[in-house]
Amino acid sequence: MAVEGYIFQQHAERLKQPLLATMPQVLPMVRAAGFRNIELNPAFFPIDGRDRILSLVKEQSLSLPSLYVGGPMHDTEGADRTIAAALEFGTFCAPFGCKAIVNNPDPKPRELPKTDAELQIQADSLNRMGRVLAQRGFELRIHHHTPQLVENAREWRHILHHTDPAYVHMCVDVDWAYEGGFEPVPFLREVGSRLREIHVRSARDKLWLEDLEDSDIDYRAVAGYLREQHLAPLIVVELAYRPNTVVTRTLQEDLTISRKYAERIFGLKAGQAW
């Protein structure tokens, strides 16, 4: 089990402070909430602050089992840049346990649909990225938001059906599947044995809640499906606040409550290194 770093970017914005300035307080908060593993993204690793962040990660005995590196994949030049960034960030996070790169292929401007030709370039680029990463000891996991789920999940299903299962694995964001109108368990069944990671967040009437709890998303059914299929993906708690999310507790309290809920539902211990 891990916690996703996006909520810490929102936390810094709410405090009106630079992201890196908040990390000496945030990373101890992660440990105090009971987490051992954390998933970060390149925003946490600017060149002039990279060593400091990694030092804080080490001080708190945190692991970085996966790293979120987005970027375009539907044009060759953009894919080249995305692959290079994934290798760069993955390499200096490897000593902290990083074994996987999570990529959400960027949508086109204004979220216009990708053409059939662009989808094929994207699939070919993901296959190439998966092979390159595997040569360096990393696993590629494909994440999604809602743009990949429009038109009956046209883009997501193209990725599923046109990439090599040996090199391109899947990271299902259960809340975004719900936001896109899909029931979580049938959505997960389509992914099948390619599932390596899931992101979990709670929502009610499409409004994100401040912690992970019982909501419109039936995580008990999700956990039951994982047990039934003998799947053991990395469970990543990804809190996020919308502008109208009612926040009644400190972030550390919300993280602690979310960790306890996830442990209870999925039968895992967040304090174990991945």
pLDDT at 273: 66
d(CA 60, CA 247): 27
Under-70 pLDDT residues of the chain: 273-274
Q: Is 240:7 a contact under the CB 8 Å cutoff?
A: yes
Instruction: Identify any residues that bridge with 3 across adjacent strands, giving them in sequence order.
Output: 38, 237
The whole-angstrom separation of Cα 217 and Cα 240 is: 15
Q: Which residues of 247-265 are buried (b: 16+ CB within 10 A; e: fewer)?
A: eeeebeebbbbbbebbbeb
The answer regarding whether domain 2-266 maps to CATH 3.20.20.150 reads: yes
φ and ψ of 188, to 5 deg: -65, -35
Q: Which amino acid is at 52?
A: R
Residues in the chain: 274
pLDDT at 271: 76
CB 2 within 8 A of CB 234: yes
Q: Would you state the pLDDT for residue 274? A: 59
Each residue of 235-260: pLDDT tens digit?
Answer: 999 999 999 999 999 999 999 999 99
Q: Which two tokens stand for residue 145?
A: 């938001």
Q: Where are the chain's structural domains?
A: 2-266
* Calpha distance 97→37 (Å, rounded): 9
